[in-house]
Structure 1
């Protein structure tokens, strides 16, 4: 299974929430919640890309789990890329990213 197939398999249950929609971000397939991007998959390097708090991203980088997300050389502090497809980890991080988007929008899950 490709990273994109895994991404959409994990995202499918989230799409039952009317606040969550498929979209594109910088030409990449992604998910939005209430208009805010919270997850994407990079077809070039097969990475899951999620938006989390800066502290959580820093932790994932320190632990060697994620890599900085830096399209065109600019690091996005609230985004992390995970290049090793892992169903459980990706599912957990998609759930975290979805919750982070809700909090950022002033809503709670």
Structure 2
């Protein structure tokens, strides 16, 4: 709700929208994530919506082990994946930032 108010007032100068998909339930499926992404994209027309997930154990949303990157590959094929946002570096550091590396590889790969 607060984001919509900001978007409505300043959307003309905002280019990237970090919608917190990790606030959804941790049982989110790939198809649900894609549906959520489509809905939020329509809420922020003209902005680049960031696909996001969390590396901490207390957040929800779809994790990499439950299909996050599969959903991102679908979005990339559709030309809808400008950026991937990973929360949080403090938690990722202990795993050598492996998900950030996977995100970079996916974003840098050529479209199919």
Q: Looking at CA atoms only, which structure, 1 or 2, has the larger radius of gyration?
A: 2
The structure richer in helix per residue is: 2
The structure richer in strand per residue is: 1
Structure 2 length-normalised TM: 0.28
Structure 1 length-normalised TM: 0.28
